[in-house]
Amino acid sequence: SETAAKSSQDAAAQSESAAASSASAAAASATASANSQKAAKTSETNAKVSETAAANSAKASAASQTAAKASEDAAREYASQAAEPYKYVLQPLPDVWIPFNDSLDMITGFSPSYKKIVIGDDEITMPGDKVVKFKRASTATYINKSGVFSVAKID
C-alpha cells in the first residue's frame, strides 16, 4: 500500500508537471494567436491604405490626362492663331538650295565652279557660279528620264 501511495504521488507529480506544461503551451498559443490577430489587423489596414492609394493614383492619372489634353488643345489653338496671319506669305528661299537633278545647277546660293557645255562636237568649259561639284562614292541605281532602270557609275 505504501508502494501504491508512492506511485500515486509520483503520478500526481507527473500530472502536475504535464498540467504546467500544458498551461505554458496554452499561454504560448494564446500569445501566438494574439500576435496573429495583430498581424491580420495590420495587413487589413495596409490593404485599405493600398486601396486608397490606388484610388488616389487613378484619380491623379485621370486629372493628369485631362490636363495634358487641355494643354495639347491650347497649344494647337495657339499655333493655329499664330500661323493664321502668315498663311498666304511666301517663305524665303534658303541660302543654298541644291536640287539633285541632272545638271546639279543650284537654284539659290553661290558656288565657284566650272560648267561644261557641249555645242555640236565641241565641249566648252565656262566659269559658273551655281554648279555643285558632286562625286559618287559607290554605284547607285536609278530610273533615267526614259523610264529605264539604270546603274550610275562611280565618279
* pLDDT tens sequence across 48-96: 999 999 999 999 999 999 999 999 999 999 988 888 877 787 777 777 7
Co-location of 109 and 43 in the same domain:
no
Residue-level pLDDT at 147 = 92
Co-location of 15 and 38 in the same domain:
yes
Co-location of 7 and 48 in the same domain:
yes
Residue-level pLDDT at 134 = 66
The last residue of one of the domains, among 44, 70, 89, is 89
Rounded distance between C-alpha atoms, residue 152 and residue 149, angstroms: 10
Co-location of 69 and 129 in the same domain:
no
Co-location of 111 and 37 in the same domain:
no
Co-location of 58 and 71 in the same domain:
yes
Of 26-40, 92-106, 119-133, the range with the highest mean pLDDT is: 26-40
Rounded distance between C-alpha atoms, residue 14 and residue 18, angstroms: 6
Give the ranges where the chain is alpha helix by DSSP (H). Answer: 2-83
Co-location of 45 and 110 in the same domain:
no
Domain total for the chain?
Answer: 2
Residue partners of 103: CB distance under 8 A and separation at least 6: 131
Co-location of 4 and 79 in the same domain:
yes
Who wins on pLDDT, 48 or 99?
Answer: 48
The last residue of one of the domains, among 89, 120, 145, is 89
The last residue of one of the domains, among 72, 89, 106, is 89
Rg (C-alpha) for the chain, rounded Å, is 48
Residue 109: give the domain boundaries: 92-155
